[in-house]
Structure 1
Amino acid sequence: MPITVVGLAPHTSAALWQAASQIRADPYTDGDAFAQQARTAAASLPEDGLTAVLDRFASRQGPSSLLIRGVPMPEALPRTPAGSFHRLPEVRPAGAEPVLALVGARLGEIFAYREWDGAHLVQNRYPVASHHNVQTASGANDLVLHTEACFTAYPPDFLALLGLRPDPTGQAVTLVSDIAQALAQLTPAERGALREPLFVFPTDRGSYNHEGRRTTEPVPLLKDRADGPVLEYSTLITAITAAGAAALAALEEALGRCAQSVLLGAGDLLLIDNCHAVHGRTAFRPAYDGTDRWIQRVLLLRRLPSGGRVVPDTRLAHYPTEYIKALALPA
């Protein structure tokens, strides 16, 4: 299903900015108040074409991704930071956080992982020099198609990505692929294999042994729900049988064929249904001079868990030690 694109009229953009002005808490120092103010502001939005589109998307009555263009932005934007945002000597809002949270809160509850980005509710994504060759959003190599935080206890229902500063080279293109469209290209046998517990993550702390290497216990990748098939997918996954490997290869090819490209500009807000779409990003060449691509992101759950708004990333146990060390590199 193609990405639905919605362009905001000037009066709608102005109304969003006005509503976002109600959100005054700092998302990096007072996350709970920030999220509560965002929820209140989102509920007060006038019922119009935009809110109708957002509500349909939240109830999964439309496409698995939605691009909103013309989201209001602050008049001035700081230079793209050089180091990981939560490790900067002074963490200051860029000014776009309230409008991102306002739209996100129309879809669900903003939450964060304890181990990510200092548990900030708004995540800042831009290239970091020490992560240049790491497979991560702060790297510069291809960020391959994946489900966000798959196999955690609380994977996001939705992601909201707001472009603050576009990639000046035009190379950093966001990719989104609809899961149902890709699965339709697979054979019944391949889809059946994806539903079987045939897939593992390599990890130094695994309890399972596959071909002499420690891994997690085998799990299925595909599950069926009332609102459609749900895929948990990452290229770290390995199949333990020939049938599983063939299905995994077919899935990767189908997701690639179905992928659509979005070059996020300033004021472009991409909403992704994390249960029904995978996403990634093409490689690019950052300058690391304050002009690089910068996006902000919130993760959204339809309902918060009983533990609150900050939850553990249980998937960390699946990461190889060398990968975790690479992400811990200083800027």
Structure 2
Amino acid sequence: MPPRLPISVVDLEPHAAAELARAAGPIRADPYAEGDVFARQVRAAAASLPQGDLTAVVDHFAAQQGSSSLLIRGVPIPASLPRTPAGSFHQQPEARPTGAEPVLALVGARLGEVFAYREWDGAHLVQNRYPVASHHQVQTASGANDLVLHTEACFTAYPPDFLALLGLRPDPTGQAVTLVSDIPQALAQLTPAERGALREPLFVFPTDRGSYDHEGRRTTEPVPLLKDRADGPALEYSTLITAITAPAAAALAALEEALGRCAQSVLLGSGDLLLIDNRQAVHGRTAFRPAYDGTDRWIQRVLLLRQLPSGGRVVPDTRLAHYPTDYIKALALPA
């Protein structure tokens, strides 16, 4: 297997940034209150986006040619931003669009259709991620502890094909580093026996709402981590997964070590847009110390599917019934 590339980095030229801002201008709908209208405007703007260096590099990435993540620097964002909110964005009555959402969604539209999970973030098509004090110890993007390496929405019926993360405000401490690790590169470091073990239904998540018993603890039903698809192997992964046999545990440990060796670090600054191929990469974030004073790290995110399911762009999180009770309570999710 030829060596995989690290994260590709593109610096957007000022004229290209201005062109992108102009193309996003007609996208005026509120993504939080007018999701369907916003999505239609994004699709129309994407169709009229002039062909150039930016579209070429994003289309190259979308075709899985090269790296599994792409960092675009110099994306235009508003010169003035509100203070980083204190609570969950969808629960803030004063929450309004920042003005960065159209550009984020417009670039994302080169990769797929924007969609959302019904139970998360008020079903917003653009999600806002920043530290929330009450989530400090929770394993989530709004917490401050290490966000473990994972594929986004693993084991749900509708995992995104791509993610797009736009830096609005960087972490002033420089501690919150995004990690991305290439899945094919990591799998190539495993033995055939280890990859074979990953294909067996031998892996569970511990949860007090689980239906399976493993060594006296309730867990989800065992599933394989690695599946073979027409376009290549597909890995669904989180560091929180547990193996139920010794060979599976050894394969899981080897995978975790390989993903760690392949991990690349990105400190997202203002106007940095990170595109992640969720079929080809896992991602996470290092721990940091928020001040909760309006100056903390703030990113916006869109999830993207190559093709929307028949039900539309707001889909259910089919894993919800198995989330631990304390996690559901901490994030105020529907039980």
Answer yes or no: same fold by TM over 0.5: yes
Aligned mates of 1:264, 1:249 — CA distance in 2? 29
Aligned mates of 2:244, 2:322 — CA distance in 1? 16
Determine whether 1:20 maps to 2:24. yes
Aligned mates of 1:22, 1:315 — CA distance in 2? 37
Aligned residue runs from structure 1 range 77-116, under 5 A: 77-116=81-120
Secondary structure class of the residue paired with 1:202: coil
2:124 corresponds to: 120
1:72 corresponds to: 76
Aligned mates of 1:204, 1:170 — CA distance in 2? 36
Aligned residue runs from structure 1 range 116-195, under 5 A: 116-195=120-199
Q: How far does residue 62 in structure 1 lie from its aligned partner after superposition?
A: 2.4
1:8 corresponds to: 12
Q: How far does residue 36 in structure 1 lie from its aligned partner after superposition?
A: 1.2
2:33 corresponds to: 29
Determine whether 1:276 maps to 2:280. yes
Aligned residue runs from structure 1 range 162-241, under 5 A: 162-241=166-245
Secondary structure class of the residue paired with 1:243: helix
Secondary structure class of the residue paired with 1:218: coil
TM-score by length of 2: 0.96
Quick one: which of 281, 298, 306 aligns to 1:294?
298
Aligned mates of 1:172, 1:217 — CA distance in 2? 33
Of the structure 1 ranges 159-168 and 207-216, higher mean CA displacement relative to structure 2 is found in 207-216
Determine whether 1:311 maps to 2:318. no
Q: How far does residue 73 in structure 1 lie from its aligned partner after superposition?
A: 0.9
Aligned mates of 1:317, 1:242 — CA distance in 2? 28
Does the CA contact (< 8 Å) of 1:203 and 1:216 recur in 2? Answer: yes
1:60 corresponds to: 64
Secondary structure class of the residue paired with 2:166: strand
CA deviations 1:93-141 (Å, max 9, x no partner) are 0110000010011110000001110100000000001111111100111
Of the structure 1 ranges 6-15 and 217-226, higher mean CA displacement relative to structure 2 is found in 217-226
Aligned mates of 2:209, 2:288 — CA distance in 1? 33
Secondary structure class of the residue paired with 2:304: strand
Aligned mates of 1:272, 1:326 — CA distance in 2? 27
1:250 corresponds to: 254
Aligned mates of 1:136, 1:169 — CA distance in 2? 20
Aligned residues: 329
Letter in 2 for 1:81: P
Q: How far does residue 2 in structure 1 lie from its aligned partner after superposition?
A: 0.3
Q: How far does residue 156 in structure 1 lie from its aligned partner after superposition?
A: 0.3
Q: How far does residue 90 in structure 1 lie from its aligned partner after superposition?
A: 1.9
Q: How far does residue 225 in structure 1 lie from its aligned partner after superposition?
A: 2.4
Q: How far does residue 323 in structure 1 lie from its aligned partner after superposition?
A: 1.7
- State the identity %: 87
Does the CA contact (< 8 Å) of 1:158 and 1:300 recur in 2? Answer: yes
Aligned mates of 2:57, 2:228 — CA distance in 1? 25
CA deviations 1:249-280 (Å, max 9, x no partner) are 11111111110000000000000000110000
Letter in 2 for 1:315: R
Letter in 1 for 2:202: L
1:322 corresponds to: 326
After the TM superposition, list the runs of 4 or more consecutive aligned residues in structure 1 that deviate by more than 3 angstroms. Answer: none
Secondary structure class of the residue paired with 2:115: strand
Letter in 2 for 1:88: Q
- What RMSD, in angstroms, separates the aligned Cα atoms of the two structures? 1.1
Secondary structure class of the residue paired with 1:252: helix
Secondary structure class of the residue paired with 1:246: helix
CA deviations 1:299-330 (Å, max 9, x no partner) are 0000000011100001122321122222229x
Does the CA contact (< 8 Å) of 1:202 and 1:319 recur in 2? Answer: no
Aligned mates of 1:171, 1:216 — CA distance in 2? 33
Unpaired runs of at least 5, structure 1: none
Does the CA contact (< 8 Å) of 1:157 and 1:300 recur in 2? Answer: yes
Secondary structure class of the residue paired with 1:314: coil
Of the structure 1 ranges 38-47 and 280-289, higher mean CA displacement relative to structure 2 is found in 38-47
Aligned mates of 2:65, 2:19 — CA distance in 1? 25
Secondary structure class of the residue paired with 2:319: helix
1:46 corresponds to: 50
CA deviations 1:208-258 (Å, max 9, x no partner) are 221122222211101122333211001231111111111111111111111
